[in-house]
Amino acid sequence: MLASVSARRLPRSVREPQMLDAAVAEFARLGFHAASMDDIAARAGVSKPMVYAYLGAKDDVFVACLHREGTRVMQAIVDVVDPALAPDEQLWHGMRAFFGYVAANRDGWSVLYRQAQGPFADEVATMRARMIEVVAGMLARAVEGRGRSSRTTDLTPLAFALVGASESLADWLADHPDEKPELVAGRLMNVVWLGAGQLLDGVTWRPLAPAGRR
Amino acid sequence: MLASVSARRLPRSVREPQMLDAAVAEFARLGFHAASMDDIAARAGVSKPMVYAYLGAKDDVFVACLHREGTRVMQAIVDVVDPALAPDEQLWHGMRAFFGYVAANRDGWSVLYRQAQGPFADEVATMRARMIEVVAGMLARAVEGRGRSSRTTDLTPLAFALVGASESLADWLADHPDEKPELVAGRLMNVVWLGAGQLLDGVTWRPLAPAGRR
DNA sequence: CTCGTAAGTTACTCATGCGTAACCTTACGC
DNA sequence: GCGTAAGGTTACGCATGAGTAACTTACGAG
């Protein structure tokens, strides 16, 4: 039986990406520790020492996965966010690109979001921080555009919440393949922008006074 | 040297919870596979066979952790959400309780949210589904209270986004010990409720027409 | 044609860590 | 005070899987 993925003896330039695809799939399925180098190799249509020859040890393989998928998602967003657009349009475009990546690349997102823990957390944390910074900056410009001034410190946690909500919803999307990414992005955009929009205009929600019960 | 956690020869009723504490801490730190039974035992101030005697195999220990922490967080929220309150107040109380649990119990939350994958996903999925359901139901009642009707399917992803935003903010909170959890909950409440509030009133955000550029 | 090198393999070593067997020892009920 | 069960231990068997050594085979440049 011939493994479907490989006509034998492929050049490195095609075999190596195959290995990364296989690694991403396995890491997504089982997590870093439970995934085995043998399984990754087998899925790539090759035997274990080839993986070591091209990608190195297991840690290296994992980092390579994080790097490739991380670059992909960042690039997907950067490609569509035009600084000349209005802030809400920027957010909208970015969100669509993000959910598009997740929908087209579920395993990659799973590895980035769910599996990158422990010693590998830093690899992802940097990118996440950059993303949040960008969002916070965008919000800051939105505030100024409305003639208000707000300290950046107040916007960072908001940016955190937005990114977090996106990530969580992306996770949900990964388990609901029927949902259109566009639609999910629209839903999220609605709640965050209507909410953020009011906040930026100075409208705030307040709880009832803690002492008096109504 | 005497292990600080244990005066020797403790009764099961005190040792067993200690083991669970240790297991939660180790699983949070390293994940299911990387955490070792020996380390869990050592952290509990005891040797490995004791863990097997009280809690069983590694899988059983993990499930026990999920069960305990899951019950805790659900209980913390249920305890403070009074169905008689207005929907926004319900959400506010629930969020404060949730942030309180996460802040006081980071490891437990980490195990529930990040580590429960693969074969264990089902254990947590049920509880998470219940939580989402509760939030979605609350939103549904809020909609009806405003004289509109909305299908539940539209509210579920919103509920998911709320939970995700909360988790993300909890992470941020961990890196900013000066911030009061109460205040963070307030910020999140602002954006989600102002946003959800408008949505429930039928106000929607729309992108510019895709064809015409302004 | 032929020879070098890139592509690929089988078959191992070795560490790690789960799970258990067999064995101590302290408290406390009678 | 003494026996028994509950609390606790050391030391091992055994499977799994990372990483490697040593070898084989196809392709293409000269």
| N-to-C CA span, chain A | 75
pLDDT of residue B6: 44
| Through-space separation of residue B48 CA and nucleotide D1 C1' in angstroms | 34
pLDDT of residue B173: 77
Angle between helix A48-55 and helix A58-80 axes, rounded to 10 deg: 60
Per-residue pLDDT band at B1 (split at 50, 70, 90): very low
pLDDT of residue B185: 85
Percent of chain A scoring above 90 in pLDDT: 43
Using the predicted structure, report yes or no on whether residue B2 has a pLDDT greater than 50: no
Tell me: the pLDDT tens digits for A130-168?
888 888 888 787 777 777 666 666 788 888 888 888 888
Rg (CA), chain A: 21
Q: pTM for the full model?
A: 0.87
pLDDT of residue B148: 67
Using the predicted structure, report yes or no on whether residue B15 has a pLDDT greater than 70: yes
Least confident of A48-62, B103-117, B172-186: B172-186
Least confident of A110-124, A184-198, B74-88: A184-198
Q: Which residue has the higher pLDDT, B187 or A68?
A: A68
Question: For every residue of B134-167, which 3-state class applies, written as one string?
Answer: HHHHHHHHHHHHCCCCCCHHHHHHHHHHHHHHHH
pLDDT of residue B179: 82
What is the sign, positive or negative, of the torsion defined by CA atoms of B71, A173, A188, B202?
A: negative
Closest CA to B165 of B188, B183, B181: B188
| Through-space separation of residue B35 CA and nucleotide C30 C1' in angstroms | 45
Instruction: Check CB contact under 8 Å for A205 and B194.
Output: yes
**B9: closest CA of chain A, how far (Å):** 34
Tell me: the pLDDT tens digits for B89-138?
888 898 889 888 888 898 998 898 888 888 898 888 888 788 888 878 77
Percent of chain A scoring above 70 in pLDDT: 90
**Does any CB of chain A come closer than 8 Å to the CB of residue B74?**
no
pLDDT of residue B213: 43
Tokens for A76, please give them: 């997907």
Per CB-CB distance under 8 Å, the chain B contacts of A163 are 168
pLDDT of residue A3: 38
Pairs from B114-119 (Cβ < 8 Å, separation ≥ 24)? B114/A114, B114/A117, B114/B31, B115/B27, B115/B28, B115/B31, B115/B32, B116/B66, B117/A31, B117/A114, B117/B32, B118/A30, B118/A31, B118/A34, B119/B59
Average pLDDT, chain A: 86
**Does any CB of chain A come closer than 8 Å to the CB of residue B172?**
yes
Per-residue pLDDT band at B174 (split at 50, 70, 90): confident
**Residues in chain B, how many?**
214
Average pLDDT, chain B: 84
Instruction: Check CB contact under 8 Å for A114 and B114.
Output: yes
pLDDT of residue A71: 94
B 28-67 near A (Cβ less than 8 A): 29-34
Using the predicted structure, report yes or no on whether residue B200 has a pLDDT greater than 80: no
Using the predicted structure, report yes or no on whether residue A1 has a pLDDT greater than 70: no
Tokens for A139, please give them: 């919000």
**Does any CB of chain A come closer than 8 Å to the CB of residue B132?**
no
